Structure 1
Amino acid sequence: MAHTVESVIARRRLLGAGAGIGAASLLAGCGLDRLGGGERDGDRAYCVPRSATQRRAGIGEAELAYEENDRAQPFNIDADFARQLDGWLEFFDARAGLGAPDRIRTYGAWIDGSGSCDSWHHSGRALDFARLVRGDAEIVSCRNDLWREAADLPTQRRRYWALAASLHRHFSYVVTYLYNDAHRNHIHVDNGASGAELARFSTRSRTQLQGVQAVCSYLYGLDVPITGRWDDATRAATGRVLADIGVGGSLTDDGAWTALMGAATGAAAP
């Protein structure tokens, strides 16, 4: 393996130093999921040895590559979580209308917990997305640290939130740049809260509420303050989007979350 787990940790230490955050804090940034994201009941993350994970060269038809140098390489990941990601990518390819990626650039999946066991990365049940690429063309960038002041910000942001919506549909815990600065260069996703099922909405989930508020704002053009709370503005905006996509009702209704996030996945297509 050209780039080891230690190189991933070193990369995060470097990013943490640049942002004024120590390496331990940055790893905790991807380990906010101790209890299903710290936002709902759920199993605690646990440590597994590398030997308990599957060595994966790709997700679906897309190869995995290390973000730092775009070099294709396998990553260790929980086998069941990897199969869920295969299903996610099939959905994204069919629904997003942005083109199917042949490469997913990432900062990694399994990380040796060394006894801390406070992140789903330590269980092999988390992946950090940096970019989706096809050939030499970038389909979606999760590098908000690079494009947040770019001339094409609206396009970059719409594609980012379409990708985030597709992940929110499949997994209950998806962490974006809205959560903290540690996630400005990637989207973190894990199945610690949702397990083998599609995501279910919780009015207590800050990450889900930030996600749906951004989707309403940036993909549907509604004026929704991004508060991370289940407030009146969010109830009204999500109700309007659900009506527009032919579902109706409230986001708290069964199936409403997956329907809204599924529709939002295609809302950034040209």
Structure 2
Amino acid sequence: MTHDDHTASRRSLVGGTIGAGALGLVGAGAAGLATAAPASAHGTITTYSTINGARTVYEVNQALASWGYRPSFHDRLNTWLAFWNANTPASYPNASRVWGYGAHYDGRPTEAHNNGRGFDLSRIYTGSTRRFIARYDIWKNWSGSDLTTARRHYWATSASTHYHFRNVLTYLYNGDHHNHIHIDNLVSGTVNSSFDSTSRAQVLHVQASCRYVWGLPTTIDGVWGSQTSSHSTRVLRAAGVATGGIGTQSRWLAFNRATMRKGYGTQTYRAP
């Protein structure tokens, strides 16, 4: 079945476009994150045309684009995409294109993008094959295996970002994220993420991963409770973690790595 998945974003763009590879950033993309004053708030911004060797593409006009980042944040994106490459099936070439809505933009009223420390991810291609699409606004209307594959790859890729970044906002977080996953390192900085059961964004990710990747009947409500604790622990046992829940960083990372690998069919695990 062929889908018209290149539909232009229906969100209004903030700041319009800037030159050929422009940042017309979506909505209030990082709603709920801290704000900062423009321009003077950030340090050095460096322009890059790739993430870990994959060319970046602007979702709105589907053209190759170069965006500005804080170099330390761009380094984390390189590490994330290398992780994504390493944990997708061996039959996949490395990612060749990463689509999104950009990174740094001084007119953006959010601290992450204003400081070049946020990125809005919409697709990943290996060669000419799309492996991931964050456009829930499009694929929510699909059916059958097209829907289940898109959704499974969505949460597997979400897991890869949660492994590396503390702030990750998905379509379950709010409507502003129905066409991208927002990631930033305002909290996690230059190290991997850790889990906080009071984080609604992280709990939503755990619940959706348990349900859509691991096949458990997990309620998705963004609230940490006994069912979510039990189901996420069952996932850890299926992944070979012998004791404990996802409260420690090592087990949180193990949960996300296993979810990434199971979601893409890279590794077979026993039923949780």
Given candidates 47, 50, 53, the residue that maps to 1:58 is 50
Matching residue of 2:162: 168
Matching residue of 1:261: 256
Matching residue of 2:245: 250
Structure 1 length as normaliser, TM-score? 0.84
Matching residue of 1:73: 65
In structure 1, distance between residues paired with 2:201 and 2:39: 26
- Determine helix, strand or coil for the equivalent of 1:255: helix
* Structure 1 residue 70, shift from structure 2 partner: 1.7
Deviation string 1:148-171 (CA, Å, 9 cap, x unpaired) is: 121211010000111000000000
* Structure 1 residue 32, shift from structure 2 partner: 2.0
In structure 1, distance between residues paired with 2:249 and 2:124: 31
Conserved 8 A contact 1:158-1:219: yes
RMSD: 1.8
* Structure 1 residue 47, shift from structure 2 partner: 4.0
Matching residue of 1:200: 194
Alignment of 1:206-245 (within 5 A): 206-245=200-239
Conserved 8 A contact 1:30-1:188: yes
In structure 2, distance between residues paired with 1:225 and 1:173: 22
Question: In the alignment, residue 108 of structure 1 is paired with which amino acid?
Answer: G
Matching residue of 1:21: none
Conserved 8 A contact 1:33-1:192: no
Matching residue of 1:158: 152
* Structure 1 residue 46, shift from structure 2 partner: 5.8
Alignment of 1:30-49 (within 5 A): 30-34=30-34, 47-48=38-39
- Determine helix, strand or coil for the equivalent of 2:230: helix
Matching residue of 1:16: none
- Determine helix, strand or coil for the equivalent of 1:155: helix
In structure 2, distance between residues paired with 1:124 and 1:76: 6
Give the unaligned 5+ runs of structure 1: 13-25, 35-43
Matching residue of 1:22: none
Identity of aligned residues (%): 34
In structure 1, distance between residues paired with 2:208 and 2:220: 7
Q: Is the aligned partner of 1:144 residue 2:162? A: no
Bigger proportion of residues as helix: 1
Counterparts in 2 of 1:255 and 1:188: CA distance versus 1, 3 Å: same
* Structure 1 residue 45, shift from structure 2 partner: 5.0
Number of aligned residue pairs: give it. Answer: 241
* Structure 1 residue 68, shift from structure 2 partner: 1.4
Structure 2 length as normaliser, TM-score? 0.84
